[in-house]
Every structure is written in structure tokens, then in C-alpha cells.
């Protein structure tokens, strides 16, 4: 399954044509042993996994991209389809295998694999099947890339990020969930659309669970550096709480709408995860709302729980959690979100 590294051996008897095609200049030195290439592995080549892989390639984020999936035919097909686009993409080595050894030496391992819900199946039973799947995935990634950072995208992402952390034995800063990074992008889009501005000029976060109990941080929203709610208050412009809640609910249900229309989500999560990969691998130290170990923040206790908080990311993973001021109401909602996750998590027995 893995792409042959001797693809230049097309001459008679397997002659390496690269040696015949090029002539070395004199007084050369061997390649520097300190020159390091960057590698990402994507686990799961479904719609989400391939959207992430495609976005990573077009954004020139890595030197090597490894794909892993249990379905060998689909896996090889996806690998070949990407390789055939080589003339239109930045030079990247693309390899694929059902064997996790192909992920060896990865700087970042992105896990998108997950079981699909069967008709009538409970959420807990689905979660338990995903936990069983992670028990085969995570130890294999750790074996071949003991210094990697794990980025979990599979849903329910907060609980599965906790599972990945427990199974990996990694420090908490090297296990991250994609969390509400995409939810926050949707939030920024809706606010920008409401105010007719560019979404990049809107700073707004959704935190907590990536799901129904997520929390919109209305108190921290700013547009072009101007705090929105305090500005409206100074201008004596009334903003109904129902309007705010309607926007939040639009964020929560936006993924369901996309799924109902096209059957799945892919492009937005692809861009979201590639955005996280760029920040991590290039040590950009940007702040993203991602799923991190949240115990001890904002009075969250009762057990180890992963949920989304605005966190600074870099080459070593989570560098720290931003000390964002929350209102009492927002803190209460965040703690309730943590309790919602813990109630399900505690039933797993991990």
C-alpha cells in the first residue's frame, strides 16, 4: 500500500533515472543532518479526513503526508487521487497504508476515524464503540511517533480527546481536540453577516462542549477592537437577549443543517483543522478555542474533563489558556457544560 520510495527507478533493470538525469556539481557536501522535514498523519480517509488532507496540501503545510484507514481500496484510491494532482500542488510526499508504521516520525497526528451511528443505537453505545476503536488507534500512533502531538477531530470530540489522553500517556499539552474552533468560526461569520463586516475583524468565542451545551461568550465579542455589547449600551441601543440566543442556536444547529442538505460536513472542518495544524507546526502561538484539559479553570472540578477554552497553541501543543474574563452567567453555563460531558464520560469506566 505504501507508495514506493524508488519511483524514479523507471529505467532498464530498475536503473535509478534520477542519478542518470542529473550530474552533481563539484565540491559538494552531503545534506545537513539537522535539516528537518515536517510530517502530518491523518487517520481516517472519510469525507472529513480527506477534506483536511486536501487543505493541508494546498496550504503547503508539510513535507510528508501519511494517510491511514482500515479500508485498503479506498485508502489507495484516495492516495493516488492526491498524488495525481502533484503538478498543481506544492511538493509533498504522500504515502498511505493500513499499517500504522507509515505514521512513523509524525509531528502531528490528526484522528478523524470514528464509528457511524446505527439506526436506533444509543449515543452511549456509539461512544463505547468509538472508545474501542481508539484503543487500537492511539497506542499505535504513540508507538511510532512518541513525540507527536495528537489532534482529535472524531466526535464526540471532547470525550474522545480525554480518551486519547488517557490511552496515550502523553502530557496534557500534547493532546488537543478540535473542539469549538469551527463553532467559533461559524459564530464570527453570523455576527459579521449581521453587522455587514469582514469575519476576520470579529473576535468572538464559543467555549465549552462542542455540542448542545456550548457557551457563547457574548461579553467578550469585539469588532475592529470595539467591544460590541458595551458599545451598544453606551449608544443606548437595546439588544434583545432572544436575538443573541437565536444567533447562538444558529451556530449549534448549523452543522445539522449542512448534514441534512448534503449528508455530511467536510470543507469547513477541513479548513478549521488545517488552521490549527499551521499554528502548531509553525509555532505561531495563536489563540484558538480548542478542547483542552479544563480542570481547575473557572471553578471546573469533579474530574478530568476536556472542553474548549481559548488556548495559545504552538510547536509543543497547548502553551496556556487565555485568562478571559467571563460573566457569572457565562461561568455557570461553562460549569454546566463540563458536568454534561462528565456525566457521559463517567459511564465509560476509563
- Binding site for NAD(+): what residues are annotated? 44-49, 69, 130, 153-155
Reading the block at residue 61, the C-alpha cell is 503545510
Q: What is the CB-side half-sphere exposure of residue 220 using CA atoms within 13 A?
A: 20
**How many other C-beta atoms lie within 10 A of the C-beta of residue 315?**
15
Reading the block at residue 5, the C-alpha cell is 520510495
Rounded Cα gap, residues 347 and 231, in angstroms: 45
DSSP 299: T
CA 235 from chain center: how many Å?
39
Rounded Cα gap, residues 47 and 178, in angstroms: 16
Q: Which residue has the cell 532498464?
A: 12
Rounded Cα gap, residues 114 and 47, in angstroms: 12
Catalytic annotation present for 210 = yes
Rounded Cα gap, residues 311 and 125, in angstroms: 31
**Which residue is catalytic, options 210, 248, 325, 333?**
210
Rounded Cα gap, residues 177 and 156, in angstroms: 10
Rounded Cα gap, residues 263 and 128, in angstroms: 24
Rounded Cα gap, residues 174 and 84, in angstroms: 33
Q: Is 300 left (phi over 0), alpha (psi -120 to 50) or beta?
A: beta
Interacting residues of 6 by C-beta distance below 8 A, sequence separation 6+: 14, 16
Under DSSP, is residue 208 helix (H, G, I), strand (E, B) or coil? Answer: strand
288 φ/ψ angles, rounded to the nearest 5 degrees: -130, 140
Reading the block at residue 311, the C-alpha cell is 488556548
Under DSSP, is residue 292 helix (H, G, I), strand (E, B) or coil? Answer: strand
Catalytically active residues, by annotation: 210
Amino acid at each position: 500500500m505504501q507508495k514506493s520510495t524508488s519511483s524514479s527507478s523507471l529505467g532498464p533493470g530498475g536503473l535509478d533515472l534520477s542519478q542518470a538525469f542529473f550530474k552533481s556539481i563539484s565540491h559538494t557536501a552531503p545534506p545537513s543532518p539537522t535539516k528537518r522535514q515536517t510530517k502530518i498523519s491523518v487517520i481516517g480517509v472519510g469525507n472529513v479526513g480527506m477534506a483536511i488532507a486536501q487543505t493541508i496540501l494546498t496550504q503547503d503545510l508539510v513535507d510528508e503526508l501519511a494517510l491511514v484507514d482500515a479500508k485498503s481500496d479506498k485508502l489507495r484510491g484516495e492516495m493516488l487521487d492526491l498524488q495525481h494532482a502533484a503538478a498543481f500542488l506544492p511538493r509533498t510526499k504522500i504515502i498511505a497504508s493500513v499499517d500504522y508504521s507509515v505514521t512513523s516520525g509524525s509531528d502531528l497526528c490528526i484522528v478523524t476515524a470514528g464509528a457511524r451511528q446505527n439506526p436506533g443505537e444509543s449515543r452511549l453505545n456509539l461512544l463505547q464503540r468509538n472508545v474501542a476503536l481508539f484503543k487500537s488507534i492511539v497506542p499505535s500512533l504513540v508507538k511510532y511517533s512518541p513525540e507527536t502531538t495528537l489532534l482529535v477531530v472524531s466526535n464526540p470530540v471532547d470525550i474522545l480527546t480525554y480518551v486519547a489522553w488517557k490511552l496515550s500517556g502523553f502530557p496534557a499539552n500534547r493532546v488537543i481536540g478540535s473542539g469549538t474552533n469551527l463553532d467559533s468560526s461559524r459564530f464570527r461569520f453570523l455576527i459579521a453577516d449581521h453587522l455587514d463586516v469582514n469575519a476576520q475583524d470579529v473576535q468572538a468565542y464559543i467555549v465549552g462542549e462542542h455540542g448542545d451545551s456550548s457557551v457563547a461568550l457574548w461579553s467578550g465579542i469585539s469588532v475592529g477592537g470595539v467591544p460590541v455589547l458595551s458599545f451598544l449600551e453606551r449608544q443606548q441601543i437595546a439588544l434583545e437577549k432572544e436575538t443573541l440566543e437565536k444567533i447562538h442556536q444558529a451556530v449549534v444547529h448549523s452543522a445539522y443543517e449542512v448534514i441534512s442538505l448534503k449528508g455530511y460536513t467536510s470543507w469547513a472542518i477541513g479548513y478549521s483543522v488545517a488552521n490549527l495544524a499551521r499554528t502548531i507546526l509553525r509555532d505561531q502561538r495563536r489563540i484558538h478555542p480548542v478542547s483542552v484539559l479544563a480542570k481547575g479553570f473557572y471553578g471546573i472540578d469533579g474530574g478530568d474533563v476536556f472542553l474548549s477554552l481559548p488556548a495559545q497553541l504552538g510547536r509543543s501543543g497547548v502553551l496556556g489558556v487565555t485568562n478571559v474574563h467571563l460573566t457569572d452567567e457565562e461561568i455557570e453555563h461553562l460549569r454546566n457544560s463540563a458536568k454534561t460531558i462528565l456525566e457521559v464520560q463517567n459511564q465509560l469506566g476509563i
